[in-house]
Amino acid sequence: MRWFWIDRFEEFVRGSRAVAIKNVSLAEEHMHDHFPGLPLMPNSLIVEGMAQTAGLLVADAIDFNRRVVLAKVAAATFHFDAVPGDTLRFDASVLDLKPAGSLTKVTSMIGDQLQGEAELFFAHLEPGEGVPTLFSPDELLTWLDHLRLFDVGKDQEGKPLLRRDW
Amino acid sequence: MSSRDEIFEKVRAALVDALGVDEEDVTPEATMVGDLGAESIDFLDIVFRLEKAFSIKIPRGELFPEDVLSSSEFVADGKVNAAGIAELKSRMPFADLSKFEANPSVQNFANTLTVEDMVRYVESKVAG
């Protein structure tokens, strides 16, 4: 089992913006106990989905050559709960990107309503800076394929992203 | 050029946002780690915010010289040696290291840096 909290990318512009969706389903095991009789998508897992959207945007921008780790949720506000049947739409923008880290802003929409918003700060770590290998290259590539990154992704000039050759 | 008060206000705003502390807690004498609860990752966040607020560049290790504190050349038995103190002083002319010098254990260093030191650091960058 892997820790996947987005289903696919809808838009992806290298280094600037990514939109991903997450369909909330009663089939997800955590819904059965959170809470009995009142299934809610935990906002902590929504933050994880936001972080996967923004984190992959950042990782791609630095050519996947450092480990992008969610270091800090600088601010997060949620306006209402997501429930089974909802489609969350995460819209991530890069506010600042440097070799050592990045600051991103992500909103979570359900339909035309703002469900949540967060500022996420990522550290970009070199191997040896305390983080083990997170993915093998082929696992990562498979995940990016599942997310349809190379179907929708574009570079800043609007040209399609090339599938990585790992 | 910004006046000192303006610099302090902007540094304070950056620290309030980065550390989630109240404005009144950010006094010149407050220590970054002990009083304001900054952790190592917060320093990266603070660097980002100061760079943006003042349009300056802060090279890694300049504000918080972690490389000195982890170097076997400058640290022995958990304490910064005389060469290390000299290195810190030359690298951090903006910081008041007199208290640290009296008890130069590496653990103690985290509690040395104050808000005032941050303001002096930014002042030197803005003036430069």
Confidence check: pLDDT of A164 > 90: no
Q: Which helix (H) or strand (E) holds B75?
A: strand B75-76
Q: What is the pLDDT of residues B54-96, one digit of tens each?
A: 999 998 888 888 889 888 999 999 999 999 999 999 999 999 9
For chains A and B, what is the number of CB pairs under 8 angstroms? 26
Nearest CA in chain A to B45: A121
Chain A residues within 8 A of B41 when measuring between CB atoms: 71-72, 121, 123
d(CA B128, CA B123): 8
| Mean per-residue pLDDT over chain B, rounded | 91
SS3 for chain A is CCCCCCCEEEEEECCCEEEEEEECCCCCCHHHHCCCCCCCECHHHHHHHHHHHHHHHHHHHCCCCCEEEEEEEEEEEECCCECCCCEEEEEEEEEEEECCEEEEEEEEEECCEEEEEEEEEEEEECCCCCCCCCCCHHHHHHHHHHCCHHHHEECCCCCECCCCCC
Domains and CATH numbers, chain B: 1-57+113-128 (1.10.1200.10), 65-111 (no CATH)
d(CA A20, CA A9): 4
Tokens 């949720």 -> residue: A73
Phi, psi of B114 (to 5 degrees): -110, 170
Q: Which helix (H) or strand (E) holds B50?
A: helix B40-54
**Contact status of A129 with chain B (Cβ, < 8 Å):** no
Domain regions of chain A by residue span: 8-153
Tokens 């921008």 -> residue: A61
ipTM reported for the complex, 2 dp: 0.70
Confidence check: pLDDT of B1 > 60: no
Say which CATH topology domain A8-153 has: Thiol Ester Dehydrase; Chain A (3.10.129)
Q: Catalytic residue at A34? A: yes
The pair of structure tokens assigned to B38 is 């900054």
Q: What is the mean pLDDT of residues A65-93?
A: 95
Confidence check: pLDDT of B109 > 90: no
Contact A74 B48 (CB under 8 A): no
* A17-23 vs A113-125, strand pairing mode: unpaired
The pair of structure tokens assigned to B59 is 């090279």
For the whole prediction, is pTM greater than 0.90? no
Interface test mutation site (partner B, options A102, A121, A122, max chain B beta carbons within 10 A): A121
Overall size of chain B counted in residues: 128
Give me the pLDDT at residue A148, please. Answer: 97
